[in-house]
Amino acid sequence: AQSVTQPDIHITVSEGASLELRCNYSYGATPYLFWYVQSPGQGLQLLLKYFSGDTLVQGIKGFEAEFKRSQSSFNLRKPSVHWSDAAEYFCAVGRGSLDSNYQLIWGAGTKLIIKP
């Protein structure tokens, strides 16, 4: 069965420091991979997605993620975090047809805490 693992429940990073959030997935076929951010009062916002092609994906707010098939990973990175990045981050894999009825299978999330 498909599954997504985010090993870190919480991560604390100093403002201005680099960030890497880990995500591992289990999926039999070529995965569709996503990172979403969830902030209070703002719902879930898509940061970036990987469907095919270049394994390094650029997203919004300065985030990027790298798909590594050999490691079944899709880690999220940012070179310098800002206090406004404090939120919960979710990795997800899409199951189904890419152009229509895919559903998302989610990790448990990683809460990012920013130290001033």
Interacting residues with other proteins (CB under 8 A): 4, 32, 36, 41-46, 49, 51, 90, 92, 96, 98-109
Considering the complex, state which of residue 17 and residue 108 has its C-beta at the smaller distance from other proteins.
108
Considering the complex, state which of residue 10 and residue 79 has its C-beta at the smaller distance from other proteins.
10
Considering the complex, state which of residue 15 and residue 27 has its C-beta at the smaller distance from other proteins.
27
Contacts of 80 by beta carbon, 8 Å cutoff, 6+ apart? 16, 17, 18, 62
End-to-end Cα distance, the chain: 41
Half-sphere exposure of 32 (CA within 13 A, CB side): 13
